């Protein structure tokens, strides 16, 4: 049973959702370790920041001394590694940070976790878990049919997905070589509250509110499987608690939509909840732009394994999740306005 858990990258989009879920729905004590780079935001954790079960340490996973100290002092039962550089466009323009954090940082954290794990005795050592959170982008690109399974060969196409693939391989190597008890999860595209405004869905929502163009790469026909972030958080907690050692679990929303369909869905909800002053649909703001270099055509997850083995399934479908997301951004300008002004 997990009583104490370290979450790296806990001030990020998915990490903060995991921590909010843990504080609200479990008795687990959480240490959030985050470097607070551009996408890290402690305001995403305001609702849990006063909990006696929550603590924060500012550090990067590449800081050997900080990682070893945090593990030794907090004495966790598990580590969830969500610390990562994660924006594909940024990886194309500046890949060095992705290599440093996603590959070298994961190696550093693995070494610190292994050193700590080897000090544990008896049942505590046997129960320890290192849970690495990754992406479906490591699998490459699908044609119009088929799904990514846990047996799909890796075929990363971008600096981001390549760095995550490398980190996945390191985690699995530390299991096979050193016996470190690991679990890996690979997720599809997340969306929901508290997402950094440079990502597609919040960018479109906020651009629409500002009467700015809604940019869509290419023809807008790239397909992604959309996963509501709170559903993902619940899956991650299940995986770290009940996942089998050395196993990988794919986590997907079973909600395939093209980028154009996603943007049009956002516009439809906004037309209802926040109509434009001129009476036109927000769809009139859609603007097709030059496609991203090496843009993968389609991602889609087969989540059968985590459903059958751990009993997880998403609660939200895309229509319900996107409505909740738009409503959240409309209701919480105090969260996104400072970010929009200073970081984007």
Q: Which active-site residues does the annotation give?
A: 136-137, 160
Report the C-alpha gap between 57 and 251 in whole angstroms. 28
**CA 243 – CA 309 distance, rounded (Å):** 8
What stretches of 8-75 show up as alpha helix (H) in DSSP?
A: 13-25, 64-74
d(CA 173, CA 176): 5
Give the phi and the psi of residue 221 in degrees, each rounded to 5. Answer: -100, 5
- Residues contacting 99, CB < 8 A, separation 6+: 159, 163
Query: Which residues neighbour 176 within 8 Å (Cβ) at sequence distance 6 or greater?
Result: 246
Please identify which residue in the block is written with the tokens 């610390």: 83
Q: Which two tokens stand for residue 300?
A: 């889609």
Q: What is the Cα–Cα distance from 49 to 318, expressed in whole angstroms? A: 30
């Amino acid at each position: 049973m997990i009583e104490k858990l370290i979450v790296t990258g806990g001030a990020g989009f998915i990490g903060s959702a995991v921590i909010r879920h843990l504080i609200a729905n479990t008795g687990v004590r959480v240490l959030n370790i985050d470097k607070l780079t551009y996408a890290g935001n402690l305001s995403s954790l305001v609702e849990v920041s006063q909990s006696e079960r929550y603590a924060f340490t500012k550090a990067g996973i590449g800081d050997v001394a900080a990682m070893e100290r945090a593990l030794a002092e907090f004495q966790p039962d598990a580590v969830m590694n969500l610390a990562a550089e994660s924006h594909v466009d940024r990886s194309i323009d500046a890949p060095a940070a992705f290599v440093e954090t996603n590959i070298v940082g994961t190696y550093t954290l693995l070494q610190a976790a292994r050193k700590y794990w080897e000090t544990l005795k008896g049942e505590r050592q046997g129960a320890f878990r290192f849970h690495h959170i990754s992406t479906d982008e490591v699998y490459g690109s699908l044609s119009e049919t088929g799904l990514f399974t846990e047996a799909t060969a890796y075929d990363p196409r971008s600096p981001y997905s390549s760095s995550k693939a490398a980190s996945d391989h390191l985690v699995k190597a530390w299991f096979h070589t050193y016996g470190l008890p690991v679990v890996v999860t690979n997720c599809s595209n997340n969306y929901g509250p508290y997402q950094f405004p440079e990502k597609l869905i919040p960018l479109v929502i906020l651009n629409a509110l500002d009467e700015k163009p809604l940019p869509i790469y290419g023809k807008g026909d790239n397909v992604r499987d959309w996963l509501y972030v709170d559903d993902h958080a619940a899956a991650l907690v299940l995986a770290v608690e009940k996942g089998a050692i050395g196993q990988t679990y794919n986590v997907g929303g079973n909600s395939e939509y093209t980028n154009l369909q996603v943007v049009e869905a956002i516009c439809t909800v906004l037309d209802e909840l926040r109509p434009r002053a001129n009476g036109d649909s927000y769809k009139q703001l859609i603007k097709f732009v030059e496609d991203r270099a090496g843009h993968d055509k389609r991602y889609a997850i087969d989540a059968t394994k985590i459903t059958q083995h751990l009993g997880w399934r998403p609660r939200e479908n895309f229509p319900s999740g996107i409505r909740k997301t738009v409503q959240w951004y409309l209701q919480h300008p105090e969260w996104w306005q400072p970010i929009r002004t200073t970081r984007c």
